[in-house]
Structure 1
């Protein structure tokens, strides 16, 4: 079956509208943005916008879905990484962890607009689902035996995935103060070892 190619004019219009939407969301709340605002910023007619999307929500949702699918595609390329050849206790970030932050950095303006300037519930929730799948597979590989976990598997996954999302938001909000490799290594080490190099001794007060 032959795959129908997209009209280059349609692709160009969608790119212009997406760019305009993200620029505007970096400046103000999504609720304050109108279709007219998007059209003017994209230098297309309002009627042209409605030829492609029913409303601004439809434009935003399509873009968010595609960005998240792209992220998922880069994260779950298991065949490209040989887990048996990687030392999880080396202190270095696994390539999949680095890819996570690389994709976010590549789309920094979008993540800033959707997670920081506007914390869009749909995007945050959908991103958490991607992270959940990523962490679940990682925990299953690293430790398949529940007896060696410090909490039930579902709590471990929920704890780690929530931390990942909030650190991602913090990393973006602070203009990526650590490199992709550094932040990935920090989170991987926290996920595997926890926050302490040694269990701290509680000193009694005199």
Structure 2
């Protein structure tokens, strides 16, 4: 939840949540272009005046939904200023707390991410997620390099692209499969893939 949302009166916050949930459901049913403000207000069981008190139109509503969710996504995947040791551990069997937070966040907002990563989502959404993942990855590398004198053997941009694809690939699969595994399990598998690589994960088990 964004900082602005945290300051909102609980009753208004609930109204905004109902409106945003209605938008996600309707977009999934008919696609954004076919959703009208009338559809949203009827589904949310509010009057049009309430909708326009908070949003200019459906475009502003969608923009705010996406921006707020991306802020939360960034907060979930980023290392805090006082990060836990396991977030930088080289043990492939210790899932970072930031990875667990990431999958917990995705699970909490599964309907949103499942929609946005489908053909009914907005263009470029996956790219926005990738950018956030990449920035987080570079930050993690900077912290790790501070404790290591080893020189990278592969260009960092290649490593970042590979890691970003792994993140987004597992998230997409997990959502499409109906989230059959827990966030902690997914965090562990992502860490193992990062540390061992796909070939070694299959061989080692």
Normalised to the residue count of structure 2, the TM-score between the two structures is 0.82
Equivalent residue runs for 1:115-126 within 5 Å = 115-116=117-118, 118-126=120-128
Gaps of 5+ in 2: none
Q: Give the Cα separation in 2 of the matches to 1:41 and 1:165.
A: 31
Give a deviation string over 1:70-98, Cα, whole Å, max 9, x none: 22223334344333786322422111111
Q: Give the Cα separation in 2 of the matches to 1:167 and 1:139.
A: 21
Match for residue 30 of structure 1 among 29, 32, 48 = 32
Contact 2:87 2:95 in 1 (8 A): no
Are 1:46 and 2:54 matched, yes or no?
no
Q: Give the Cα separation in 1 of the matches to 2:194 and 2:120.
A: 28
Gaps of 5+ in 1: 201-206
Q: Give the Cα separation in 1 of the matches to 2:83 and 2:125.
A: 28
1:122 is displaced (CA, Å) by: 4.2
Shift of the 167–86 alpha-carbon distance from structure 1 to 2, 3 Å rule, reads closer
Shift of the 49–115 alpha-carbon distance from structure 1 to 2, 3 Å rule, reads same
Are 1:141 and 2:137 matched, yes or no?
no
Give a deviation string over 1:155-194, Cα, whole Å, max 9, x none: 1101211221122112111111222112111111212221
Q: Give the Cα separation in 1 of the matches to 2:190 and 2:11.
A: 42
1:99 is displaced (CA, Å) by: 0.8
Match for residue 197 of structure 1 among 195, 200, 203 = 200
- Residue of structure 2 in register with 1:128 after alignment: 130
Report the secondary structure of 1:195's partner residue.
helix
Normalised to the residue count of structure 1, the TM-score between the two structures is 0.81
- Residue of structure 1 in register with 2:178 after alignment: 175
- Residue of structure 1 in register with 2:100 after alignment: 98
Larger CA deviation: 140-149 vs 168-177: 140-149
RMSD: 2.8
Contact 1:25 1:118 in 2 (8 A): yes
Aligned length: 197
Report the secondary structure of 1:88's partner residue.
coil
Q: Give the Cα separation in 2 of the matches to 1:195 and 1:52.
A: 47
- Residue of structure 2 in register with 1:65 after alignment: 67
Shift of the 50–153 alpha-carbon distance from structure 1 to 2, 3 Å rule, reads same
Report the secondary structure of 1:121's partner residue.
coil
Match for residue 114 of structure 1 among 116, 140, 143 = 116
Report the secondary structure of 1:169's partner residue.
helix
Report the secondary structure of 1:183's partner residue.
helix
